[in-house]
Each structure stands twice: as C-alpha cells, then as structure tokens.
Amino acid sequence: MEQTDDTVGGMIRQWRTRRRMSQLDLAAEAEISQRHLSFVESGRAAPSREMVLHLAERLDIPLRQRNRLLLAAGFAPSFGERQLEHPSLRPAMDAIEQVLKGHEPNPALAVDRHWNLVRANGAIAPFMADIAEASLLAPPVNVLRLSLHPGGLAPRIVNLGEWRAHLLERLRRQNETFGDPVLGELEAELRTYPGALTRGPVVHDEGTAIVHPLRIRMGDVVLSLISTITVFGTPVDVTLSELAIESFFPADEATRFALQKMGLPSA
C-alpha cells in the first residue's frame, strides 16, 4: 500500500511520482530550480498559493486534490464544490440533458468520478430491464458494477471477457491518474467477478483494432456498440470537473437499425 504524506511537500512528491516525473522533469516543466522544488518537497521551503497552483497545473492534478494541496499549505480552497442541484450548475446540467437527449436513439449516460449514474437518456431503459439482482439498480447505480456483475448485464454481454478486461484497464488507469481509494476498492471488487479472459489478451483484427466494441444481447439480436467519453473543458467547479458523458454508437448497420426500432416513439 502506498504510504501517504499529508504535508504539501509530501503530496507534491507523491503526485510527481505518480506522474513518473523526476524532480528535474517537474522543475523544468514549472520553470523553477530543482533546488527550490527539493526544498518545497522536503518542507524546508513553504510554497506560495501561486506556486502550489502552478505545480498542480504542471502535474495535471484533479481539482479536488488541488484543494487538498491548498489546505495542506495553509490556504483556502480555490475551487468550489457544489451539489448537482445547485442553481449555478443548472446551465451545465441542461447542457448534459441536451447532449443525452440529442443522442437518442443511441444510448448515452452521464457518470460521476466513481462511475455512479447521474443522468441517462431514454435509450438506456431497455438495457436496465430484466436485471436479476435488484440491488444493482438501487441509487446510486454504479454502471461498472451493473455491467460486470453476474446478476447485472454480464450474462447478456457476448464478449464479456474482452469487455471486462477493457473496463478494468480503464479503471486501473483512472485510479492511477486520480489516486482515489474508492476507485481502487471498486477495481478490486470488479476483479472478483467471473468472466476473465482464459487465453491471454484479446488480439483484434485490423478492422476492430481502434475500438473495444461492446457486444450485448437484447432479445434475439446482438448489438455491437462503440463508445466515446466527453468531459467539460476547463471547469472550475470540482463536481463539474468529475462528470463524464459516455455515448454509445452503433458499430454496424444491423445495430443501427435495431436501436432505431427500440427507440422511443416520436412525441
């Protein structure tokens, strides 16, 4: 287990190590001397508020952890953290609703930093039907747990081993980037679920090498879907910075037709 140091210098050192940067690398990026950075990390020099934010920017530290750095350095947090229902976030949430609605009849959903469902469009409803383990649908719905749990969507996923490996790798990289213990616990839990690959890594042919398709059975058809992730650009609110929209697209014409057939009737 990684040892933690709650001093501002220790936290900067931990993030630098997480980013696989030497002191010289970070000093060059931040345009400061390596000696000064060494003094900050060891606690021999107290960084200014501007220096804390400058180093955090160079290390690409998430806003939530930037606030922690500021507190550790004795400064007030710089980034707000509002509830999703806060009036000031209404324009952003309206934009999310518009994106989700505009993506129909293709499924799309918005999740928070822990992959809990925040919003979904109408095309997601058929995928949530006939879930054997009802507790998976109790709020907050964790979409990764719902996807890979044997009582969730897993029995319908035709390429479960491949999709499971893809999701776990995404989660591992996300946890490495953000250093969030909740993500680490989620990854450990998901790795206990059945469905692991039994014959080494998947080797894609040239036609599918650029994406990891989700192949899921819906009734008597198998849908083939690819997805993209969208995040807000340059957010200054912690909650907003941690939201992501995952949009699924048909990977073939048969899936496109099936999604249109499953779509909600026009108003």
101, 121 contact by CB (below 8 A):
yes
62 and 94 co-located in one domain:
no
245 and 141 co-located in one domain:
yes
141 and 29 co-located in one domain:
no
CATH number where 53 lies: 1.10.260.40
Pure H helices in 149-267: 160-178, 181-190, 238-241, 253-262
Number of compact structural domains in the chain: 2
Residue 2 lies in a domain: no
92 and 66 co-located in one domain:
no
Alpha-carbon distances, residue 164 vs 11, 45, 119, 209, 212 (angstroms): 32, 46, 23, 17, 10
Write down the pLDDT at residue 267: 38
CA separation for the pair 256, 245 (Å, rounded): 20
CATH number where 218 lies: 3.30.450.180
Write down the pLDDT at residue 159: 95
Tell me the pTM.
Answer: 0.84
Write down the pLDDT at residue 264: 52
What is the three-class DSSP state of 37? Answer: helix
39 and 96 co-located in one domain:
no
Write down the pLDDT at residue 197: 67
10-residue mean pLDDT profile of the chain (267 residues): values are 76 95 97 97 96 96 94 95 92 96 97 96 93 95 97 96 94 87 94 76 48 90 95 87 96 95 62
Instruction: Say if strands 244-250 and 221-231 run parallel, antiparallel, or are unpaired.
Output: antiparallel
